[in-house]
Amino acid sequence: MRLTFMIAIVLSAIVSVFGQVPQRFSGKLMPRLSPDMVHVYQRVYSAAKTADTYRFETPPEKGSVISVGDLIDQRNSGSKTIMLLIEPPAGAPYVWVDRNGNGIYETAERHELSASSEDLNVYIATIRLPIKYDLFHDYPIFIAYFRGFRHPKLAATDRLIEQSVYALAYGRVQVGPRQVLFQYPFAPHLPALSTTEGLFGVDVDGDGRILDQQFSVETASAMNDEPVFPLGDKYVSTTAIDMTTGTITVRQREKSEYTRIDLAVGREMPDFEFTDLYGKQRKLSDFRGKYLLVDFWGVWCGDCTRETPFHLAAYERFKKRGFDILGVDADDTIETVKGYITKNKIAWTQATHASTKQLREKRYRLQEYPSTVLLGPDGKVLVLDQHQLQGEALLKTLDSLLPKH
């Protein structure tokens, strides 16, 4: 009784000095992982020399076309597993993965592909590879095969495959009257789910799903900190996850701890200062009066550099119509980006990695590169949809929005 009394006195003292003790909420992980459908990467599979190269429990149908490639497999230290794409003379294609690693493609390791409801020439499946955890027993990888896809850089016998790379864990937490969906990054080489590293998500608006895309208020990338999410009149972050019991512990945070910048179409992008590649101090507001593409990118990012030809075309075609670009670079060394812009004759301004690190990682919590925003002359967001700001679509978007002289 005396111990209980003393604890009560201590808690009372803490509350009187620091304010109310942060509220905690509890929930449970769901027992199955899901593929991360944002980070999906393309792979080229080549024609197999002969079916005799591989050992099958039941051989593929006679006359089948067999293609082989590396499946990015986060379960392995080498991060690759061989996958076979089989196209039989009749019927849908399928894939084969040696799940148990015994060197034999067994019948149980065959995964059927089904035509996508959005495109009948795209065949999809989610394959599940074994892992050993108390709660999770398989690692999901989403596969999409683009039948008939042709490209000048691909041989006629090459096949284009897309696959997810990462997996996500989900759970539900009782926060006040609501059962809230939470999302956590899963790394198969780690013994526990991190609360401070990776891609996190919360169903902020209560629609039963988490909008997982660039600049979404419902997802955030974290580096050595607990990302804070707004939830009605509360602000919360996950403080602990027990992988044995599946218990999630969420704590309430102060409003002042939510320092993220939330962008939305029609809302002004807040001003920020940066240093350009030549040491000059600049500000975002220096570009007021122009239609500005703010491009968060890096030379190390293949998807970013694939956008360079379209950015060059856009800059040349639309600069007389009031268009400009601000590159916000994420390369560790200035020499790397200087060499790239010199080689590619890039004329627009670049903000350095060091001067925008906090902005990218803490204020915007960027989860993917490239991430781009199109601003109007008043500094307000015109377009956030990445599909409208990449490739040929960027040129069409600009042509439709910019004034014609």
Q: What is the DSSP string of 310-370?
A: HHHHHHHHHGGGTEEEEEEE--S-HHHHHHHHHHHT--SEEE-HHHHHHIIIIIS---SSS
Separation of alpha carbons 374 and 151, rounded Å: 30
Contact 86, 64 (CB under 8 A): yes
Give the model confidence (pLDDT) of 17-36 as tens digits.
445 667 999 999 999 999 99
Question: For residue 67, which phi and psi values (nearest 5 degrees)?
Answer: -120, 150
Measured between alpha carbons, how far is 138 from 388 in angstroms, rounded to an integer? 36
Indicate if 81 and 153 belong to the same structural domain.
yes
Count of the separate structural domains present in the chain = 3
* Domain end (from 165, 180, 208): 165
The span from the CA of 251 to the CA of 179, in Å, is 15
pLDDT value, residue 45 = 96
CB atoms within 10 A of CB 345: 7
Among residues 250, 205, 258, 255, which one has the least CA distance to residue 232? Answer: 205
What pLDDT score does 78 carry?
60
Closest to 231 measured CA to CA, from 168, 176, 171, 169:
176
- Both tokens of residue 238? 């996950």
Q: Is the pLDDT of residue 3 over 80?
A: no
Q: Among 165, 199, 219, where does a domain finish?
A: 165
Full residue range of the structural domain in which residue 352 is found: 273-401
In a shared domain, residues 234 and 210 = yes
User: Is the same domain home to 143 and 192?
Assistant: no
Residues 385-393 have a mean pLDDT of 94
Provide the pLDDT for residue 12: 47
Asked whether residue 8 is domain-assigned, the answer is no
Q: Is the pLDDT of residue 15 over 70?
A: no
276 touches 349 (CB < 8 A): yes
For residues 328 and 344, state if they share a domain: yes
Mean pLDDT value of segment 118-145: 94
Question: Are 240 and 125 members of one domain?
Answer: no
Instruction: Tell me the two tokens of residue 385.
Output: 């949809």
Residues 193, 137 within the same domain: no
10 within domain boundaries: no
Q: Residue 370: is the preceding peptide bond cis (ω within 30°)?
A: yes
Same domain, 307 and 393: yes
Amino acid 75: pLDDT = 85
68 vs 150: which has the higher pLDDT = 68
CA distance 371 to 379: 17
What value does the mean pLDDT take over residues 152-177? 94
Rounded Cα gap, residues 264 and 354, in angstroms? 26
Decide if 386 is inside a domain: yes
Question: Does 279 fall in a domain?
Answer: yes
Rounded to 5°, angle at Cα 153 from 312 and 303: 45
Query: Is 136 found in the same domain as 50?
Result: yes
How much helix, strand and coil, in percent to the nearest 5, is found in the chain?
20, 35, 40
Same domain, 243 and 125: no
- Partnered with residue 381 across adjacent β-strands are 375
The verdict on 397 and 325 lying in the same domain is yes
The span from the CA of 218 to the CA of 184, in Å, is 12
144: in domain: yes
Spatial separation of the C-alpha atoms in residues 165 and 117, rounded to whole Å: 23
For residue 372, give the amino acid letter: T
Mean pLDDT of 140-168: 93
Within a domain: 266 = no
Asked, for residue 334, whether it belongs to a domain, the answer is yes
* CATH code, 377: 3.40.30.10
The verdict on 245 and 347 lying in the same domain is no
Average pLDDT over residues 194-220: 94
Of the chain, the percentage scoring pLDDT greater than 70 comes to 94
Question: Residues 146, 249: one domain?
Answer: no
- DSSP character at residue 134: S
Nearest to 303 by CA among 238, 386, 247, 224: 386
pLDDT of amino acid 301 = 92
Query: Do residues 31 and 246 lie in contact, with contact meaning Cβ atoms separated by under 8 Å?
Result: yes
State the amino acid at position 294 in one-letter form.
Answer: V
Report if residue 336 sits inside a domain.
Answer: yes
Last residue of a domain, one of 136, 165, 194: 165
